[in-house]
Amino acid sequence: MHDHVNDPYVQEAKRRGYRSRAAFKLVELADKDRLLRPGIVAVDLGSAPGSWCQVLRERLSPGGRIVAVDVLPMDPVVGVAFVQADFSTDEGLAAVAGALDGRRADLVLPDMAPNLSGIDAVDQARSVGLADLALAFAVDHLQPGGDFAVKVFQGSGLAEFERSMRERFAKVYVRKPRASRDRSREVFLVGKGFRPR
């Protein structure tokens, strides 16, 4: 708790009105890999509590379309279409498709983590499973040339997942934003230039 309260990213998030320190992870990824351009269509998978939506709103206005999806409720963010659903179900996919209003996404951003059991092998398998679901969503909903940035955890299955991304994107980068805590095994894989089959 002491570390959290004194965390400079936590303090800066409060100062700027962001809902969590995770906002700064997206800011760094976006700046490094040129992910955010005004007017694009972006889908935030696993959006609650909404700090990534806040960054998207700042960067994509005017004209951008932002669709946020989570199984958990999320307080509204002005200009963001929120869908409370499981995007891996038919009903959830239909709801997301409705929010996209027939458009394809330019950017898909899954910042999801599984419910942790405390058993490393189980948690790692769940993490990679979520990433696989997110990649399948991106393949079905991205524009040709679109981008994808997904949170994953270092460990078993990550190399295979990275290979799957390399089959679908022109370039894939592994990123560890400065706002990620040093002790965390999380990294982000950024896919640039989606290539439909």
Query: Known catalytic residues?
Result: 151
8 Å CB contact between 169 and 145: no
CA 173 to chain centre: 15
3-state secondary structure the chain: CHHHHHCHHHHHHHHHCCCCCCHHHHHHHHHHHCCCCCCCEEEEECCCCCHHHHHHHHHHCCCCEEEEEECCCCCCCCCEEEEECCCCCHHHHHHHHHHHCCCCEEEEEECCCCCCCCCHHHHHHHHHHHHHHHHHHHHHHEEEEEEEEEEEECCCCHHHHHHHHHHHEEEEEEECCCCCCCCCCEEEEEEEEECCC
Sequence-separated (6 or more) residues with CB below 8 Å from residue 21: 7, 9, 10, 12, 13, 51, 179
